Structure formats: structure tokens, C-alpha cells
Amino acid sequence: MTSAPRNVPASAVSAAAGPATNAATTGKSAGRAARNTGYKCSECGWQAVKWVGRCGECQQWGTLLEVGAATAAMPAAGPVTAAAVPIGEIDASAATALPTGNPEFDRVLGGGLVPGSVTLLAGEPGIGKSTLLISALASCAGNGATVLYITGEESAAQVRMRAERVGALHPALYLAAESDLGAVLSHIDAVAPDVLVVDSIQTLSHPLVDGAAGGVNHVREVAAALTRVAKTRGLACLLVGHVTKDGAIAGPRVLEHLVDVVLHIEGDRHTRLRLLRAVKNRFGAADEVGCFEMGDDGMWAVADPHGLFVSRLPEPVAGTCVTVALEGRRPLLVEVQALVAAAASSVPRRATQGVDSARIAMLLAVLERRVGARLADREVYVSTVGGVRLTEPASDLAVALAVASASWQQPLPPGTVAVGEVGLAGEIRNVVGAQKRLAEAARLGMRRAIVPAGTSAATAAADTGLVVVQASDVRDALAAVRTAD
């Protein structure tokens, strides 16, 4: 927190106090601060003496709110909701998670929906938020919970049609199309649900707040009101939120602080895979990932998703290598494909999909300089299978092997999996979760794993029938796959 004297601009202090002593300066400025209320951005905390329409720091419109009055006086002691008791005497049964019945959704939530909690499900428009919720909540209703679904974006008839298509018609699933918070509160009173869904928070307007629904103030106030209702009635509340192009949840940041769980749903719109990621979770692991497949009849949990990211080619093909990516805490087998072709112009093309292009440029330079691969005058294409994004450096070695294999036009030995971060000197660095990755590779029938030298899990994995080859640099790794049978 900024202390009171600092609210006064430095220029004002020196102008008022001149060359006076420190004690005099502090006394005068403190007196001023108590009278001066000032304005603060609700998004980023930027402060201004006068009100302005746009925040000077985060450039958001209409986020400046008056502050200062609240800090001026000490509030009087007031009534309490419940007396403080020793922590061991608090009844925790009221906060036991209610499983939704959808295994992947429950896994990400950390067991299920906790009564009294607020969960924010964020994702781009059209990614499948409503589809996921309607089917997860129908199964939740099937478990005995009463669910109230408030739709502000689609009409009730549209949601019913979708629910019918995905097989989510259940008598305990109530539906209402509303865009006013007051009306939603009346529905809550009438239905008394265990689970409330608001699709989406941006379409609800607060009767006491000025401006259009979806604005910063509306979103914050509606979320705050629903949070209070959730806590007092002990109902699990799910809010759907749209994200902007750059991935931020539209509306104020405070929304993320206000809620207990933040889930992001991601995926490439052109593929069927959707990943549900817990970004914040007060009731479970914050790095859990759930896999779903978008079909014609809804969004279905994929318990064993490895088949989605690995092509099933009848014959080994040059330029492909499998790696084990760790998505949150879950190991996923992912295939990297590379193609090296003669350049059609003096500036050879490099195109990537699912992998960072700057990282690929670095790996190509390492292959060129440390191994002597001829790539500078050839076109290089690198892609993942199934639209998955590889963000970890642990996939470097698989990319390097795929590119090398493409440039030799020689397939890697079948069943090869590679894990390791490649440094600029061509060295292979250790990765986190090696044990988990190797266990998954062995479980899925991979035969040979190329791992960084000194991987402690290497010996343990050898028992599973997986041949583990430790390589200290890219040259070693390439030699290992070339000499293999």
C-alpha cells in the first residue's frame, strides 16, 4: 500500500514546504492527503489526482474510481457473522466437493464443484464453453444436484436445442434466459439450485451500476454480488467469461482475485482437441489439465489422449519424432513432424505450427553449427500433430531429431521418443518430470527413449522394457538414433 504522504505529488510537497525541515514537510503533506481523495485505476492501481477517462498506465477506459475517503477514518467495531472458533472445530463438510460426473472436468476442478465457491471458465468465443458446461451440468443434475443455467447470450430455445443434441436434457437442469442481475436473483430464490451457471458474466447488467453490461464496473459488481450469493447460500457458482484476443479475461483483473477457481479452455478452432486448464484453484492443483474432444454431438472427455497427437503411419517416415510433453502434471505423447525441402527462393522459408518459431530458428542454428547439418539454404517446416502447442524447452530434442531425420531423409528407429532441452552449445539439459515422462512412454509401448545424460529416472524406466539412451549433446543423440537397429 502507498502511504498517505506519497499521494501528494512531489512537486506539491516541495512547493508548499520549500526548504523547510523534514518534520515540517511530513506534517503538512499528511494533512493534505487526508483531505485529498484522489482516483485510482481499478485494473492496475495507477493513481491520479484528478479524474480522467482513460488510465494513464493500462490504457483502459472508465476504470478510475475515487479513493481516499475510506482510508481517512477508523471504522467503529460492528456485528460479526459468526464468532471465531479454533480451526479444528470448523465444520468442513459444507465445503466437500460435489462431483460433476464428468471425469476430466472433475480432475481439473480438483474433485468437483465446491459448495459456496465461484469458478470462472474463460475462453475465446466459440471454443466450446457453453457446450462443455451444458453436458457437464446435465451429468451433475443426474447425480442429484439441482442446476440453474442462466443464458444471456443465446435464447432459451437455442440452449435447449443444443442440450438435446448433446443429450443433456435432465429434469433437474433449469434454464432461464436473463440479462439482469435482479431477475437472476429471483430465479435463484425460486429454484434454490445447488449449482448456478451464468453464461456469460459479460451479458449480465447490475441495476445499480451505470454504463453498458460487459463494462468493467458491471462485470466486477455482478461477480461480487454473485460471489456473496454463492457464499451465503452455499451454492457452487460457475461464471463464463470471454477472453480478448491477447488471452486476458475481459473485465477487470479483480475478477480473477474474486473467484476461487479460474479455468481456461484452449484449443485450435480447426481441430477437435480442447484443453481445460486450471490457472488458479483454491481446492486443488493449479496446473491440472483436462483433455476434451469436440464432436458433432458434444464435447467429450478424453481419458487417454495420446492417440490424438500421434499420427498412425503404416511405415516409419523420415522427419517425425515423438516426445513426451508435460502439460501441467499430465504427460502427453506428442509427435513432431519436420520437412526439409530445396529452397525456391534466395530466402528459404521457415514455417512452424504448434511450436515457437524463434525456438525453431535457434535449433536450426545449433544443428547447422554443432552437427554440420546443411539447412541454411533449404526450406524447413515444423509442425505438431493434432493442433497441440509445445511450449516447453523439453521438446527441443525431438524437434532437432525430426529436422535431422528430415534432412537425411532417413526415418528414426520405430518407437523412438526424445526428451531434452537443447542449449546453444549443443548440450542436452535435464528436464523436469523425467520419471513421469518415461513411465508414460513405456506404458504406451515406446521402445527407445533418448534422454539427457544424468537423468536419474533412466535406470528405473529400464525395468519397464524401454531402452533408455542417455545423451549429453545433440551429436550423441543423433549418433544414437543412426546406429540403432
> Applying CB under 5 A, which residues contact Mg ion?
130
201 binds ligand TYD (CB under 6 A): no
- List the one residue from 42, 63, 119, 130 that touches ligand TYD (CB under 6 A): 130
**CA-to-CA dists, residue 165 to 130, 138, 140, 143, 299, angstroms:** 13, 12, 17, 20, 11
The smaller minimum CB distance to ligand TYD, of residues 130 and 320, is found at 130
Report whether 90 contacts 219 (CB < 8 A).
Answer: no
- Looking up cell 476430466 gives 104
40 binds ligand TYD (CB under 6 A): no
164 binds ligand TYD (CB under 6 A): no
Q: Which of Mg ion, ligand TYD, none lies near 273, with the C-beta cut-off 5 to 8 A by kind?
A: none
- List the one residue from 40, 129, 277, 437 that touches ligand TYD (CB under 6 A): 129
Minimum distance of Mg ion from residue 199's CB (angstroms): 6
Q: Is 148 exposed, middle or buried (0-12, 13-18, 19+ CB in 10 A)?
A: buried
| Residue 347 neighbours by CB under 8 Å, 6+ apart | none
128 binds ligand TYD (CB under 6 A): yes
The smaller minimum CB distance to Mg ion, of residues 130 and 384, is found at 130
- List the one residue from 166, 222, 239, 419 that touches ligand TYD (CB under 6 A): 166
297 binds ligand TYD (CB under 6 A): yes
Spatial distance between the Cα atoms of 236 and 289, rounded to a whole number of angstroms: 21
The smaller minimum CB distance to ligand TYD, of residues 297 and 368, is found at 297
Nearest residue to Mg ion on Cβ basis = 130
The smaller minimum CB distance to ligand TYD, of residues 241 and 426, is found at 241
123 binds ligand TYD (CB under 6 A): yes
The smaller minimum CB distance to ligand TYD, of residues 12 and 175, is found at 175
Pick from 263, 311, 266, 312: nearest CA to 292: 266
The smaller minimum CB distance to Mg ion, of residues 124 and 287, is found at 124
The smaller minimum CB distance to ligand TYD, of residues 162 and 170, is found at 162
Q: Grid coordinates representing 180?
A: 439482469
Task: Find the binding residues for ligand TYD in span 271-290 (CB under 6 A).
Answer: none
Helices assigned H by DSSP within 427-483: 434-443, 458-462, 474-483
Q: Which of Mg ion, ligand TYD, none lies near 420, with the C-beta cut-off 5 to 8 A by kind?
A: none
Binding mask 76-115 for ligand TYD (x = CB under 6 A): ----------------------------------------
Spatial distance between the Cα atoms of 482 and 128, rounded to a whole number of angstroms: 44
387 binds ligand TYD (CB under 6 A): no
202 binds ligand TYD (CB under 6 A): no
Sign of CA pseudo-dihedral 434, 354, 277, 269: negative
Spatial distance between the Cα atoms of 459 and 467, rounded to a whole number of angstroms: 10
314 binds ligand TYD (CB under 6 A): no
Q: Which of Mg ion, ligand TYD, none lies near 323, with the C-beta cut-off 5 to 8 A by kind?
A: none
485 binds ligand TYD (CB under 6 A): no
Spatial distance between the Cα atoms of 29 and 4, rounded to a whole number of angstroms: 8
Minimum distance of ligand TYD from residue 301's CB (angstroms): 14
φ, ψ of residue 305 to 5 degrees: the values are -85, 5
Q: Which residues of 320-332 are buried (b: 16+ CB within 10 A; e: fewer)?
A: bbbbbbbbbebbb
Minimum distance of ligand TYD from residue 267's CB (angstroms): 10
- Using DSSP, state whether 121 is helix, strand or coil: strand
151 binds ligand TYD (CB under 6 A): no
Whether the link from the prior residue into 179 is cis, omega within 30° of 0, is no
127 binds ligand TYD (CB under 6 A): yes
- List the one residue from 7, 119, 131, 416 that touches ligand TYD (CB under 6 A): 131
| Residue 70 neighbours by CB under 8 Å, 6+ apart | none
The smaller minimum CB distance to Mg ion, of residues 186 and 244, is found at 244
294 binds ligand TYD (CB under 6 A): yes
φ, ψ of residue 157 to 5 degrees: the values are -65, -40
Q: Which of ligand TYD, Mg ion, none lies near 294, with the C-beta cut-off 5 to 8 A by kind?
A: ligand TYD
The smaller minimum CB distance to ligand TYD, of residues 136 and 166, is found at 166
118 binds ligand TYD (CB under 6 A): no
Number of residues that bind ligand TYD (CB under 6 A): 15
Interface region with ligand TYD, contact rule CB under 6 A, candidates 80-88, 246-254, 294-302, 349-357 = 294-302
Spatial distance between the Cα atoms of 258 and 119, rounded to a whole number of angstroms: 10
Spatial distance between the Cα atoms of 466 and 374, rounded to a whole number of angstroms: 32
Count how many residues are written for the chain. Answer: 485
| Residue 299 neighbours by CB under 8 Å, 6+ apart | 128, 131, 132, 135, 166, 274, 292, 293
Residues that bind ligand TYD (CB under 6 A): 123, 125-131, 162, 165-166, 294, 296-298
